[in-house]
Structure 1
């Protein structure tokens, strides 16, 4: 053996000995456990920013990371629906169930007056309706914007055109669509029944089922169409929202990921079939409840109250003045 070959062998032995042995690490397959960005299941851990100082004193942060903002807004959006739900139940009884039972607007008015102090007491109305509804809308829009920007960062959107392509409108669910449709309808309903009487008459003590019947008799096409859309959207949004809080997502824009190529399909398991069957059952149940609720409400509001006709005397004159003073559409009413 030549001297050069022995030197090469010694060098190879030293290089082998200098290598570090690494323990094997398992490889995880995350195909079936991919988190859902739309509901905030994936939150990349950001680097902790150092608190800035001004005049030698640290400025404390809010301590809200992106996922904490997501949780906070989701909580606000959910729990802000509790007070309006109580009002929703009372209003449903006053304007739908009781008129259906009595078959008379004058006979139903006393029941409306009994429950009116519960949700129209000074200051309580804004706590039960105004603030919760505004909180619900604002938190939903903010939450959607946060998730939209999160998707844009994830997919590397740099230009405005790319961000618009990953916008939140194409993925908006039927539940959210009904909510955005409902917002201006609630506003118009409040202006006609609460704001205008307050401006014209100093309060809404004279506003009741007769006032609504008088308006429908004056403009039947407009008000029948309005209450048809208003009641239907309201019932579907409330029922669908509570179904979502309970874990029954029947109005979502998301589609379940296919299990094609997974062990479920290869081994012949029926989990997907059972899940789809259960989802269809929930869909029919939730939408059936919403359909029955909307039908009952329309039967009471339009079938009984809407056919009561115009009022008479000084009361009708006061109602005519109120309807004519409604902003923008007063001339049509």
Structure 2
């Protein structure tokens, strides 16, 4: 017969034996999130839910319908990734027509035939929406849906209780540079399409008269507006494209970076004598310089051809210039200032 003291000692011994000793690990900054935490937040480490067998009726089982959370995540991720392929092909053709060829020819009239040669490739009936409109809308919509799904999962993971906590964790707690650039260029793409595609189609029934001379004429009409617009538009677009493709290839560098000096004291990353931490920091810095260097070079080349050659070509002449003036004046909302 064991007394109460003996039972308490046995219980303490069992509780001590059941405890698991954990090895100390360095504190990792937000600058380089651990792969385990990212995988956990993305739902990769969640256990597969137990599938309940559907109730049988007359000896036949009803098929399960719908998508689970991790399947939605995988589907939306695939849509977001593969929707960038068609716009990338257009991106390559467009930078060649509006920058590289003008830089080589040093003349807008000499560059116009090359634009006309490639225009049927992406402006054919039905093909334009398949190459640009649908992929861009799918890319933006899938990105917003993924952010909401992963944010809600993060709120459940960290046990958000109050409404403010859920809002902070579940809806855009820390938007990366890549996402910010994407949301920035979305309205800029819309304005670019409105001026160069939608308005000519509404006014003249097509955009066959819109080319490099039309863009040069508009810049000459409103130089301050269009120079600022194209600098922001081209720079943000190139950085978003280059950063996105770097992310697909495993070089994720266009994320929110830690400010210089902020949180530097007390940081143990790379200073604990562990070579893998130091190598990781060096690789991250190298990737950051390479990706941003490529983006800066691409933006500089595009602006050199777009604003350096096309932007300085001046106004058109004759009936063609009169038609372009009509098109710019009919642009909704901002036509009076163009």
Please indicate the TM-score interval, normalised by the length of the shorter structure. Answer: 0.7 to 0.9
Q: Unaligned stretches of 5+ in structure 2? A: 3-16, 26-33, 259-263
> Where does 1:176-325 land on structure 2 (aligned, <5 Å)?
176-253=179-256, 268-325=273-330
Q: Are the equivalent residues in 2 in contact too, given 1:174–1:251 (CA < 8 A)?
A: yes
Q: Which residue of 1 aligns with 2:71?
A: 68
Alpha-carbon displacement from aligned partner over 1:182-234 (angstroms, at most 9, x marks no partner)? 10000000010000000001000000000000000001110000000000000
Larger CA Rg, structure 1 vs 2: 1
Distance 1:223 1:260, change over 3 A: closer
Alignment partners' CA distance in 1, 2:127 and 2:120: 9
Displacement of 1:48 in angstroms is: 3.1
Alpha-carbon displacement from aligned partner over 1:122-174 (angstroms, at most 9, x marks no partner)? 00000000000000000000000000111111222233222122244331110
1:130 partnered with 2:133: yes
> Where does 1:48-67 land on structure 2 (aligned, <5 Å)?
48=51, 51=54, 60-67=63-70
Q: Are the equivalent residues in 1 in contact too, given 2:151–2:172 (CA < 8 A)?
A: no
Q: Are the equivalent residues in 1 in contact too, given 2:246–2:252 (CA < 8 A)?
A: yes
Alignment partners' CA distance in 1, 2:54 and 2:43: 26
Q: Structure 1 stretch 158-167 or stretch 170-179: which is displaced more?
A: 158-167
Q: Which residue of 2 aligns with 1:149?
A: 152
Q: Structure 1 stretch 26-35 or stretch 218-227: which is displaced more?
A: 26-35
Q: Are the equivalent residues in 2 in contact too, given 1:43–1:66 (CA < 8 A)?
A: no
Q: Which residue of 2 aligns with 1:111?
A: 114
Alignment partners' CA distance in 2, 1:103 and 1:28: 71
Q: Are the equivalent residues in 1 in contact too, given 2:147–2:172 (CA < 8 A)?
A: no
Distance 1:59 1:233, change over 3 A: farther
Alignment partners' CA distance in 2, 1:179 and 1:213: 26
Q: Are the equivalent residues in 2 in contact too, given 1:35–1:42 (CA < 8 A)?
A: no
Displacement of 1:291 in angstroms is: 0.3
Q: Which residue of 2 aligns with 1:326?
A: 331
Displacement of 1:98 in angstroms is: 0.4
Q: Are the equivalent residues in 1 in contact too, given 2:41–2:157 (CA < 8 A)?
A: no
Distance 1:27 1:65, change over 3 A: farther
Displacement of 1:325 in angstroms is: 0.7
User: How many residues end up aligned between the 2 structures?
Assistant: 309
Q: Structure 1 stretch 36-45 or stretch 123-132: which is displaced more?
A: 36-45
Alpha-carbon displacement from aligned partner over 1:24-54 (angstroms, at most 9, x marks no partner)? 9995859787442444433343343565899
Distance 1:98 1:26, change over 3 A: farther
Distance 1:58 1:294, change over 3 A: same
Q: Unaligned stretches of 5+ in structure 1? A: 1-7, 10-23
Alignment partners' CA distance in 2, 1:238 and 1:28: 46
Alpha-carbon displacement from aligned partner over 1:51-73 (angstroms, at most 9, x marks no partner)? 5899x997644452211111111
Distance 1:38 1:209, change over 3 A: farther
Alignment partners' CA distance in 2, 1:107 and 1:160: 61
Task: State the TM-score, normalizing by the size of structure 1.
Answer: 0.84
Distance 1:331 1:41, change over 3 A: same
